[in-house]
Structure 1
Amino acid sequence: MSKVALRNFWFQFHKWIGLLLAIAIIPISVTGAALVWHDALDKALNPQRFAFTQTEAKLDPSAYAAAAQRVLAPGERIVSLRFAEGEPVMIAAAQPRKDGARGRPGRTVVYMDPGTAKVLDKADGNAGLVRFMHGLHGSLLVPGIGRQIVGWIGVAMTISTISGIWLWWPTVGSWLKGLRWKRHRNFDTNLHHQMGFWIALPLFVLSLTGAWISFPAFFGKLSGDVQQTRPGQPDRMAMMRAKPLPNPVTSLDQAIASSNALAPEPVTSVNWPTDLKPEWSVSKNGKTVSVDDASGAAKLDKARGERPETTARLMRRIHDGTDMGVVWQVVIFIGGILPAILAITGIIMWWRARKWRGDLAKRQRRKAVAA
């Protein structure tokens, strides 16, 4: 294949990837940019959840559980409790499953004042603008296969960034010529060339990590990061569908007391026993203690407590900016805004070229008739 033919191939590939996926790329990119500032956005949209004066938990965990239970609807069962510095105490409860319903049951989240256990807000776990953006970014709100669709869009975008650099590279002269602003007479084309070049590397990383998150099993095999389910333990998807036990034998206070013998640190979160895994899970600053509901026996869960930095976890942190510093978070934010602009300018460029070819064809037909 000649250089001209290869360049034309990359041009067609790049063009049609952008055109066909523009309607999905724009919402995925914009929501990804916004979710970099997830915490700040949540505080701005839901100030009532942060209307507390004391930031440290002052009561026993059972006091928060009792306060939450009083505002929950009949049939809703508590599944987890979470403490985090500077945030409200959060309790999640599983909603009753409707007859014939499949998948993970709905969640109700109760937000409480850390100092008094006063209920600040109660909301459906899938409601609100921030949750909507998470769903749109992660699955395009398509049930079942949405995550895979987003993953393939990430693969296409990864290849598209490579083809974009190929097309940006000047055909004649030094590559420095590519940095010139006026490579074309149209503003949108120059904007597309310049933004495409400067965002290419971050966009490649974000697209690749996005695909990695969507296809953990495939990439896990490549990196040797495959998570094995322990013998006798249900897999992750089954655990998401598990139901909290209606009447645990061991109380919350007893479970925490049992965990203190192995890990005396302050509690950061608690997961209630379920029908698939009848044991309490008490997390304490990086350590996790499992407490059997039937006997109250506690054991230190090293697999959870150590939480090694796996490749999959690193890919997720790179993608969403968690603990990556403000500089990378700003890069992610820009990397979310610019692809939307690239998609729009790409559509404008295609439409103008289409119109130009149509006008050219008309002129050629007139000449043919005149001749």
Structure 2
Amino acid sequence: MAANRFALRKLWFQIHKWIGIALFMPVIIVSISGSALVWDEWLSGTLYPSRHHAESEVALPPSAYAAAGREALGAGERILSLEFGEGEPVLLTAAQPPRPEGGRPVRTRIWLDPADARVIDMAASNEGALRFLHILHGTLFVPEVGRKLVGWLGVAMLLSSLTGLWLWWPTKRRWFRGLRWKRGNGLSTNLHHQTGFWACIPLAMLSLTGAWISFPAFFGPLVGDAPPDRAARIARMSVQPMAETRLGPDGALASAQAMAPGHGVEIAWPTDRSAEWKVVLAEDEGSSEYLVGDATGEAVAAPPEEPRRASVARTMRVFHDGNGMGLVWQIIIFVGGLVPAILGITGIVMWLRSRGWRRAVADRTREAAKA
């Protein structure tokens, strides 16, 4: 029995060691970029403050912002929507023409001064530091198979977390003896043991949820989730605004306001999927949405959206991203993303030290044999 337990422990040690050595760099990149993305809103406000703060309120009709945005757009780009946020610039989003090679649709975003419709900033949806971090974290910039590669990294990290917990567990005496600082010689060894233990559960959770996000078609059926409809998702993302409209944003807003008082929060243009304007009005108690026919100018209240079906996949994404989970959880997953760097560095130091120790023993053995 003891021999079998020793052999199993040796096997887990080899798996744990070579996962850490072989995947050191990609794991570090994915983990640290994920930690940064926990604070994506703060990063966006820090990197691009002009996109988030405006000194004046909306002072012009929607058509004025649309006209200013059109002058800044490139050939073939069409306006998709205008968004009006309190104390923020007006955000205009436009669709770029579909690319011959296909791929994710690209949107152009223009931030306009609410006072005079002056262009404050402009960027494509596939540009910028945050977009770089998202692609790095999700695909490592590897074409075609990057998402799957990151998913397998999640599987490897989960296995590393579980084997690490096994190796942390004391072979003698009670388990809480493992909590003592001095588990071995040197700072690296002790830091590796203690950091690995306290971060084991968050690391395992981040690894599992990351793999789940990367392989929804595999994990979904295991828990009864419907398989992801990739074609429908691409169709929703690929909508193109109508080339010509009859009503205009001012008319659409006026028709909606005739139904209910309130100021415009969002105006979305008719598209190739729906010949209606969508107008969202902020009211005393929340907001309401109206659909305005482009040909008739008639406004009707938008039908209430069906509640999104709860799914394990959506829960996994919330746990992984930390969105809406509160500050404590965000701090936990932020630290959990930094821990692999500590474990990787200390693990490699331990490995190099053990190689040096074995080399020294072998040298002494050879010298003794010669004597």
C-alpha displacement of 1:281: 4.7
| Equivalent runs, 1:1-371 vs 2, <5 Å | 2-54=4-56, 57=58, 59-98=60-99, 100-226=100-226, 235-249=232-246, 251-256=248-253, 267-275=264-272, 279-282=276-279, 300-303=302-305, 306-307=307-308, 310-368=311-369, 370=370
In terms of mean alpha carbon deviation, does 262-271 or 324-333 score higher? 262-271
8 Å contact kept, 1:103–1:241: no
Q: 1:81 to 1:235 in 2, by over 3 A?
A: same
C-alpha displacement of 1:367: 4.0
Q: Rg: which structure is higher?
A: 2
For residues 168 and 259 of structure 2, the distance between their equivalents in structure 1, rounded to whole angstroms, comes to: 59
Q: 1:21 to 1:302 in 2, by over 3 A?
A: farther
8 Å contact kept, 2:216–2:228: no
8 Å contact kept, 1:94–1:108: yes
Residue-by-residue CA offset, 1:162-200 (whole Å, 9 max, x unaligned): 111111111111111111111111111111111111111
In structure 2, the gaps of 5 or more residues are: none
C-alpha displacement of 1:310: 4.1
User: How many residues in Structure 1 have an aligned counterpart in Structure 2?
Assistant: 364
2:236 aligned partner, one-letter code: M
C-alpha displacement of 1:248: 3.7
8 Å contact kept, 1:181–1:190: yes
8 Å contact kept, 1:234–1:276: no
C-alpha displacement of 1:264: 6.8
For residues 228 and 340 of structure 1, the distance between their equivalents in structure 2, rounded to whole angstroms, comes to: 33
In terms of mean alpha carbon deviation, does 280-289 or 165-174 score higher? 280-289
In terms of mean alpha carbon deviation, does 123-132 or 172-181 score higher? 123-132
Q: 1:95 to 1:185 in 2, by over 3 A?
A: same
1:109 aligned partner, one-letter code: R
Q: 1:52 to 1:23 in 2, by over 3 A?
A: same
C-alpha displacement of 1:122: 0.8
For residues 194 and 62 of structure 1, the distance between their equivalents in structure 2, rounded to whole angstroms, comes to: 61
8 Å contact kept, 2:13–2:163: yes
Query: TM-score when scaled to structure 1?
Result: 0.84
Q: Percent identity?
A: 50
Q: 1:115 to 1:17 in 2, by over 3 A?
A: farther
8 Å contact kept, 1:281–1:288: yes
For residues 133 and 254 of structure 1, the distance between their equivalents in structure 2, rounded to whole angstroms, comes to: 40
8 Å contact kept, 1:290–1:301: no
Q: 1:164 to 1:139 in 2, by over 3 A?
A: same
Q: Is the partner of 2:121 in helix, strand or coil?
A: strand
Residue-by-residue CA offset, 1:284-306 (whole Å, 9 max, x unaligned): 667665666566675735446x4
Q: Is the partner of 2:141 in helix, strand or coil?
A: coil
Residue-by-residue CA offset, 1:254-311 (whole Å, 9 max, x unaligned): 555566688876554454444455554555667665666566675735446x445543
For residues 154 and 69 of structure 1, the distance between their equivalents in structure 2, rounded to whole angstroms, comes to: 44
For residues 264 and 228 of structure 2, the distance between their equivalents in structure 1, rounded to whole angstroms, comes to: 27
In terms of mean alpha carbon deviation, does 36-45 or 311-320 score higher? 311-320
C-alpha displacement of 1:249: 4.9
8 Å contact kept, 1:270–1:283: yes
C-alpha displacement of 1:121: 0.6
Q: CA RMSD in A?
A: 3.1
In terms of mean alpha carbon deviation, does 42-51 or 321-330 score higher? 42-51
Q: Is the partner of 2:323 in helix, strand or coil?
A: coil
Query: TM-score when scaled to structure 2?
Result: 0.84
1:320 aligned partner, one-letter code: D
C-alpha displacement of 1:57: 4.6
Q: Is the partner of 1:109 in helix, strand or coil?
A: strand
Q: Is the partner of 2:81 in helix, strand or coil?
A: strand
In structure 1, the gaps of 5 or more residues are: none
For residues 295 and 74 of structure 1, the distance between their equivalents in structure 2, rounded to whole angstroms, comes to: 29
For residues 259 and 216 of structure 2, the distance between their equivalents in structure 1, rounded to whole angstroms, comes to: 33
1:323 aligned partner, one-letter code: G
Q: Is the partner of 1:235 in helix, strand or coil?
A: helix
Q: Is the partner of 1:101 in helix, strand or coil?
A: coil
Q: 1:295 to 1:184 in 2, by over 3 A?
A: farther
For residues 19 and 175 of structure 1, the distance between their equivalents in structure 2, rounded to whole angstroms, comes to: 27
Q: 1:329 to 1:5 in 2, by over 3 A?
A: same
8 Å contact kept, 1:262–1:300: no
For residues 275 and 31 of structure 1, the distance between their equivalents in structure 2, rounded to whole angstroms, comes to: 37
8 Å contact kept, 1:168–1:197: yes
Residue-by-residue CA offset, 1:110-162 (whole Å, 9 max, x unaligned): 11234543321112322222221111112112232222211221122222211
